[in-house]
Amino acid sequence: MARPHAAQAGVAERLQKYLAQRGLGSRRAIEDWIRAGRISVNGKLAELGQKVSHGDDIRLDGRAIKTRATEGTHLFMFNRSPGDPLREADGERTPLIDRLPRAAGRRFIAVSPMPGIDGGLELVTSDGALAAKLQRAIHKLPCEFSVRVKGQLGPDQLDGVKSGKLDRAARMTIETVTNSDADLEGSNRWYGIVARGASGKDIRQLFERQGALVSRVLRISVGSLKLEKDLARGQHRQLDDAQTARLLDPNVPAAEET
């Protein structure tokens, strides 16, 4: 049985956290709404840090907000085709997001999303607090990417990629860089790379910094979570509590997924 949110059980929570957990938007966006006077609680303009509970009448631009928490954690994995929009803009759901069940929430947050021109494994959730935790956790997890470049990288270029050095102070940790003759695709070659502390944007920049012409970056895995062949492009799958727990804490035994 799913554990209810604290506010649902009658315990007061900060307004921005309460609404973010129910998929109304990110905490930052909700804070902006509060400052702009767009949110009211029980007929009075809301204040930053104000606490609310399940019985409060919360309104956005005068319209009542449905704040019934959904049961369970709603975290979804997409296999996104390069170029397909994932992020929501101006309150409009994208074609990919629109495939998710309405009961999972009204607004979704992408966790460490890949650049729009790239694709592969994407994570989205309607729980703002969970999104923030996952964002921090994923930065520490090994992530696997496939990178398609024109031609073949020379030894110096490969050494540059393996260094993990970018044009900014932060440096990612590169665990492996691989390729084989089987990775040839016409005049292009696919390289596999496993890195920690790297976003899809970082990986693209890492190769381009070595003079490589990058045409595609796909994320294949995040920690223990991997794209499987049975998840077709454009399709999604809801993750269970055990899978979510392992993303947040890799030390959770794999046996707990069963």
Whether the predicted pLDDT of 193 surpasses 70: yes
pTM value is: 0.70
Q: Provide mean pLDDT across the span 157-161.
A: 95
Q: Provide mean pLDDT across the span 125-148.
A: 91
pLDDT digit string, tens, across residues 63-82: 887 654 444 568 999 999 99
DSSP state of 251: T
| Residue 80 main-chain phi, psi, to 5 deg | -90, 130
pLDDT digit string, tens, across residues 12-61: 788 887 887 665 667 788 899 999 999 999 999 999 989 988 788 999 88
Tokens (6 digits) for 257: 């997924």
CATH level 3 topology of 142-222: Pseudouridine synthase (3.30.2350)
Secondary structure (DSSP) of 191-208: EEEEEES--HHHHHHHHH
Whether the predicted pLDDT of 168 surpasses 80: no
Confidence at residue 217, expressed as pLDDT on a 0 to 100 scale: 97
Distances in whole angstroms, Cα of residue 117 to Cα of each of 86, 120, 136, 210, 244 = 11, 11, 24, 20, 27
Whether the predicted pLDDT of 203 surpasses 60: yes
User: What confidence category does residue 119 fall into, taking pLDDT thresholds of 50, 70 and 90?
Assistant: very high
3-state SS, one letter per residue, for 68-86: CCCCCCCEEEEEECCCCCC
CATH level 3 topology of 75-138+233-257: Alpha-Beta Plaits (3.30.70)
Intervals of CATH 3.10.290.10 along the chain: 13-64
What CATH architecture does domain 13-64 belong to?
A: Roll (3.10)
Intervals of CATH 3.30.2350.10 along the chain: 142-222
The rounded mean pLDDT for the chain is: 83
pLDDT digit string, tens, across residues 218-245: 999 999 999 988 889 989 998 888 888 8
